[in-house]
């Protein structure tokens, strides 16, 4: 299902005439936020019957597209292998179709398998990025990795959403795996004077050193800015408007080339060149809105393994094969697939 547009709210609808803003707002609430038609009617100040007509008109005009993807036959290993080869990745770990409300439960087994195969030993470091998918998955089951250090890839973000709170995500992951958290007590983008003091601070230097020596990194891939409901406040939207996605708040274009924005030289986030040197890098991303970011990030080598779901894997293959409609962005296609957790590794050796 793909919803095209950028407005989140529109004017009050009137009978017989629905603006694109109203159709996009109703479709976003219904298809992306699991709101009922009655809920939408109350928010828009109209009737449930009118909401039904708004949604039907949104589909007719192409604001909403619904794709039905054939179920995977066999054990699905071939799809994981094909996706890994197409993206040039070491491994792809597949979960069944995910729904936003249960994404963590669906992805957790595949992520646990990926982390277990990383063979982390006591004293080695697991880096963790912010992001909603990482935050929610970290609350589900993860493998027992006692003695592993868990550190953030980016400083604190002054945002209300829980998935922006990097130290809290680190604490959750460490608690799940039986590891030891290491916190970064610094804002992601400090002012020039504060930045100079922070990089000399012992606790900050410890995290910077862990970035350089980490064994594994767990990463979220951000969607292109026009398809997101929020960005960190310090990121100027116009500067990253053309970004394919971001990892650890480092934005990049469709070729994986980093996009600079004012103040980015002070960003307390793992540099992409250092990230590329981490031996095991696992991205966790689902949904058509992240296809560009996944493709560009894989192309640039920002991650070597991918945890995703079956519909996203199909969309990635379609995009690689030249189907531009699948790479334009927006939410997950609708499909029904039997539960399975499938993993295919092109190279299973510990590096």
Position 228 confidence tier, pLDDT thresholds 50, 70, 90: confident
Position 327 confidence tier, pLDDT thresholds 50, 70, 90: very low
Residue 101 has pLDDT above 60, yes or no: no
* Mean pLDDT confidence for 160-186: 92
Position 93 confidence tier, pLDDT thresholds 50, 70, 90: very high
148-160 pLDDT, tens digit each: 999 999 999 888 8
Residue 272 has pLDDT above 90, yes or no: yes
- Report the C-alpha gap between 317 and 261 in whole angstroms: 31
Q: Determine the pLDDT at residue 334.
A: 31
Q: Determine the pLDDT at residue 284.
A: 94
Residue 12 has pLDDT above 60, yes or no: no
Residue of 231 and 214 predicted with greater confidence: 214
- Report the C-alpha gap between 217 and 286 in whole angstroms: 18
Whole-prediction pTM: 0.72
Same fold, 2-65 and 77-345: no
Position 338 confidence tier, pLDDT thresholds 50, 70, 90: very low
Q: Determine the pLDDT at residue 270.
A: 97
Task: Give, to the nearest 10 degrees, the angle between helix 48-60 and helix 20-27.
Answer: 100
Q: Determine the pLDDT at residue 335.
A: 29
Number of H helices, E strands in the chain: 12, 12
Which architecture characterizes domain 77-345 according to CATH? Answer: 3-Layer(aba) Sandwich (3.40)
Average pLDDT, the chain: 83
- CATH 1.10.240.10 is right for the domain spanning 2-65: no
* Mean pLDDT confidence for 48-61: 89
Give me the residue spans of the domains in the chain: 2-65, 77-345
Q: Determine the pLDDT at residue 348.
A: 40
- DSSP states of 320-345 as a string? HTT-GGGGS--SPPB-------EEEE
Q: Determine the pLDDT at residue 324.
A: 43
* Residue 15 phi, psi dihedral angles, 5° rounding: -60, 130
* Mean pLDDT confidence for 237-246: 90
């Amino acid at each position: 299902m793909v919803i095209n547009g950028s407005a989140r709210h529109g004017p009050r609808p009137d009978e017989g005439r629905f603006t694109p803003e109203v159709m996009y707002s109703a479709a976003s609430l219904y298809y992306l936020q699991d709101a009922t038609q009655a809920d939408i009617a109350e928010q828009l100040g109209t009737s449930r019957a009118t909401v039904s007509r708004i949604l039907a008109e949104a589909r007719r005009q192409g604001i909403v597209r619904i794709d039905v993807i054939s179920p995977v036959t066999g054990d699905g290993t071939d799809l994981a292998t094909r996706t890994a080869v197409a993206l040039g990745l070491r491994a792809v770990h597949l979960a069944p179709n995910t729904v936003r409300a249960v994404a963590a439960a669906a992805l957790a087994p595949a992520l646990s398998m990926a982390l277990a195969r990383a063979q982390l030993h006591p004293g080695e470091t697991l880096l963790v990025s912010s992001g909603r998918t990482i935050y929610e998955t970290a609350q589900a089951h993860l493998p027992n990795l006692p003695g592993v250090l868990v550190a953030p890839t980016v400083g604190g973000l002054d945002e209300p959403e829980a998935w922006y709170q990097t130290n809290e995500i680190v604490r959750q992951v460490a608690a799940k795996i039986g590891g030891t958290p290491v916190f970064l007590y610094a804002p992601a983008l400090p002012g020039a004077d504060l930045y100079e003091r922070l990089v000399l601070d012992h606790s900050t230097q410890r995290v910077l050193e862990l970035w350089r020596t980490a064994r594994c990194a767990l990463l979220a891939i951000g969607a292109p800015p026009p398809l997101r409901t929020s960005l960190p406040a310090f990121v100027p939207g116009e500067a990253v408007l053309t970004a394919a996605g971001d990892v650890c708040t480092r934005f990049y274009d469709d070729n994986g080339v980093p996009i600079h924005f004012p103040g980015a030289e002070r960003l307390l986030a793992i540099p992409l060149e250092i990230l590329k040197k981490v031996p095991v890098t696992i991205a966790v991303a689902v949904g058509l809105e992240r296809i560009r970011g996944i493709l560009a990030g894989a192309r640039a080598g920002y991650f070597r393994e991918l945890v995703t779901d079956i519909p996203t894997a199909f969309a990635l293959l379609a995009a690689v094969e030249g189907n531009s409609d699948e790479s334009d962005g927006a939410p997950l296609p609708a499909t029904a697939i039997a539960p399975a957790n499938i993993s295919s590794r092109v190279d299973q050796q510990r590096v």
